[in-house]
């Protein structure tokens, strides 16, 4: 027991060190974590780590999906819904079919059902790796929004394909219309359960009015409730979590207090980081277990099959994304589309960003041990090894070369032409200041001049709402922010000194410290990002 705890703590420390190193090396942290896991798996005497599919699907997957849905923009999701749904369903099914055909043609003993099983496993990309690679590359927000939206839904379609393909292998038969009907039923039930359960949590948040701590605990309970109830109803647990997460996130401003919202955001940001780091590390640590399962099979031949399937999933995704551009232009003549001239650079980058992750490995490890007639499941160990190779090729290979591709393309044009984030922040602050000035003038005009504090507040909003954009004014604002940050630092030092005095309660000290943190964050957010 103690050894397991020490191992987990040691892995957590290694994850933090590797993530810190990835920032220095400017390499996406999922890539470095996988390589670090591979290196650790080769250390003599280190216990072999075995990934239980239940751990991934029941412990890691629900909160990771919920966290992704929570921080996903519903506005962006709805704007790019057609592309996202095609990527999440159409592309997964077409990729699975392509993998099934190639596997059936080139891998001895691989039936079409086994091919579809492998296709369902390796088809859904992991957008966490892609977005972590693409951040800081100056790419349009639309690309990240599409990849993030795809990752919310594509696991559901892949897992559904896996479920029906595995059933076909075990039963020895496959009925297409039953599979299509089952796919539709699981989708509808998953979305319906997600909405119903999310509405139940909405009522709890809205009318019981829990404290910030209770609110955070409820958000931790929600993803597991959504997933387990949907699976119990024979629906898609993934779609239930995504649907419920999007619903509650969209309504969070009406049901959460400011303190509860801030605490929940901080908790989920940390939890998402830890879980994502752990799952990428586990991929690398699983190497000895995967290789050990190949007893009696040529490893060189298995690597060849893995490279072949990797080429299929990469090429099929590239072809489909590039064909999507002229298709959008054609459909733009008949219906309103989000972008009727997407070009080829953006689709090429999105197509090349199809990196596979731990869900694929967990799905492969979840292949049953026994098949039809109680016989060993055919090619189980080979399918797991091929999946591992596909993950390494797409995650490490494409992850390291994606920045090179973006630089070769000379970047991707931002057709949305959005202002930089700090300029948007400034414009929105001006709009909010004008709203406050209108409120002061309409309701508190008589109280403003006698009350020095209200007069000062009005003057502050006037300067914010109607700023002087001259260079001299910018220098004044920069100097003001520099002095303000210095004063906040001095206040913090004084507060830490006062903490030693017995006449001041520690809880009050913490409250004032949080106030200084918020003021410092606000002052820093007004500065342009380097």
Q: Spell out the residues 6+ positions from residue 388 whose beta carbon is closer than 8 angstroms to its own.
A: 283, 286, 287, 290, 306, 361, 364
| CA atoms of 375 and 483, how far apart (whole Å) | 75
Adjacent-strand bridge partners of 376: 370
User: 477-497 as b/e, with b when 16 or more CB fall inside 10 Å?
Assistant: beeeeeebeeebeebeeebee
Of 165-169, 353-357, 432-436, give the lowest mean pLDDT range.
Answer: 165-169
Sequence spans of domains, the chain? 50-409, 427-467, 470-530
Q: DSSP string of 141-156? A: HHHHHHHHHHHHHHHH
Of 67-81, 241-255, 325-339, 403-417, give the lowest mean pLDDT range.
Answer: 325-339
Cβ atoms of 5 and 47 within 8 Å: the answer is no
176-188 pLDDT, tens digit per residue, is 666 667 778 888 8
Cβ atoms of 215 and 258 within 8 Å: the answer is no
Residue 157, pLDDT > 50, answer yes
| CATH code for residues 50-409 | 1.20.1530.20
Cβ atoms of 87 and 108 within 8 Å: the answer is no
| CA atoms of 319 and 347, how far apart (whole Å) | 10
pLDDT tier, 371 (very low <50, low <70, confident <90, very high otherwise): low
Comparison of pLDDT for 127 and 26, the residue scoring more: 26
Summarize the confidence of residues 318-333 as an average pLDDT: 74
pLDDT reported for residue 530: 46
pLDDT reported for residue 341: 66
Q: In 471-505, which ranges are continuous DSSP H helix?
A: 471-498
How high is the mean pLDDT of the chain?
80
Most confident of 86-95, 124-133, 374-383: 86-95
78-86 long-range contacts, Cβ below 8 Å, gap at least 24? 79/145, 79/338, 80/142, 80/145, 80/146, 80/149, 80/338, 81/149, 82/337, 82/338, 83/146, 83/324, 83/338, 84/146, 84/149, 84/150, 84/152, 84/153, 85/153, 86/324
Summarize the confidence of residues 246-251 as an average pLDDT: 86
pLDDT reported for residue 37: 86
Rounded to the nearest angstrom, the gap between the alpha carbon of residue 209 and the centroid of all alpha carbons in its chain is 29
200-247 pLDDT, tens digit per residue, is 999 888 887 667 888 888 999 999 999 999 999 988 888 899 899 989
| CA atoms of 259 and 521, how far apart (whole Å) | 16
pLDDT reported for residue 112: 85
Q: Spell out the residues 6+ positions from residue 510 whose beta carbon is closer than 8 angstroms to its own.
A: none
Adjacent-strand bridge partners of 370: 376
Residue 291, pLDDT > 80, answer no
Most confident of 222-236, 355-369, 479-493, 494-508: 222-236
Most confident of 71-75, 209-213, 399-403: 399-403
pLDDT tier, 422 (very low <50, low <70, confident <90, very high otherwise): low
438-463 pLDDT, tens digit per residue, is 887 877 777 777 777 777 777 777 77
């Amino acid at each position: 027991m103690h050894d397991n705890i020490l191992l987990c703590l040691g892995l957590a420390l290694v994850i933090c060190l590797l993530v810190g190193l990835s920032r220095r090396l400017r390499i996406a942290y999922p890539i470095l974590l996988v390589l670090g896991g591979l290196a650790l798996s080769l250390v003599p005497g280190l216990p072999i780590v075995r990934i239980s599919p239940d751990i991934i699907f029941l412990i890691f997957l629900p909160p990771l999906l919920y966290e992704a849905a929570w921080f996903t923009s519903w506005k962006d999701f709805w704007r790019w819904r057609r592309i996202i749904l095609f990527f999440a369903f159409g592309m997964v099914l077409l990729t699975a079919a392509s993998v099934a055909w190639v596997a059936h043609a080139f891998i001895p003993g691989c039936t079409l059902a086994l091919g579809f099983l492998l296709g369902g496993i390796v088809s859904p990309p992991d957008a966490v790796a892609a977005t972590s690679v693409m951040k800081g590359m100056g790419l349009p927000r639309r690309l990240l929004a599409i990849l993030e939206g795809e990752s919310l839904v594509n696991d559901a379609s892949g897992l559904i394909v896996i479920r029906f393909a595995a059933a076909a292998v075990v039963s020895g038969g496959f009925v297409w219309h039953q599979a299509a009907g089952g796919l539709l039923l699981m989708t509808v039930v998953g979305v319906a359960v997600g909405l119903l359960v999310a509405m139940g949590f909405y009522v709890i948040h809205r009318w019981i009015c829990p404290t910030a701590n209770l609110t955070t605990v409820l958000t931790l309970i929600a993803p597991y409730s959504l997933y387990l109830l949907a699976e119990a109803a024979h629906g898609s647990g993934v779609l239930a979590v995504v649907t419920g997460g999007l619903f509650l996130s969209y309504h969070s401003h009406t049901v959460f207090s400011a303190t509860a919202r801030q605490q929940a955001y901080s908790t989920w940001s940390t939890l998402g980081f830890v879980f994502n780091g752990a799952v990428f590390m586990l991929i690398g640590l699983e190497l000895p277990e995967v290789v050990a399962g190949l007893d009696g099979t040529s490893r060189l031949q298995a690597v060849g099959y893995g490279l072949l399937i990797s080429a299929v999933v990469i090429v099929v995704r590239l072809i489909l994304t590039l064909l999507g551009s002229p298709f959008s232009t054609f459909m733009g003549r008949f219906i309103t589309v989000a972008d009727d001239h997407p070009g080829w650079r953006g689709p090429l980058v999105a197509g090349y960003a199809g990196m596979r992750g731990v869900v694929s490995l967990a799905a492969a490890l979840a292949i049953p041990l026994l098949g039809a007639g109680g016989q060993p499941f055919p090619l189980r160990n080979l399918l797991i090894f091929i999946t591992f190779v596909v993950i390494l090729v797409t995650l490490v290979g494409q992850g390291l070369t994606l920045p090179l591709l973006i630089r070769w393309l000379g970047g991707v044009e931002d057709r949305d032409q959005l202002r930089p984030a700090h300029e948007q922040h400034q414009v929105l602050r001006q709009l909010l200041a004008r709203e406050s000035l209108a409120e002061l003038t309409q309701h508190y005009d008589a109280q403003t001049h006698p009350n020095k504090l209200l007069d000062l507040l009005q003057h502050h909003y006037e300067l914010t709402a109607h700023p002087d954009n001259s260079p001299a004014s910018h220098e004044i604002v920069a100097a003001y922010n520099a002095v303000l940050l210095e004063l906040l630092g001095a206040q913090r030092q004084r507060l830490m000194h006062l903490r030693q005095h017995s006449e001041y309660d520690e809880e009050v000290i913490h409250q004032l410290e949080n106030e200084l943190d918020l003021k410092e964050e606000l002052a820093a957010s007004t500065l342009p990002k380097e």
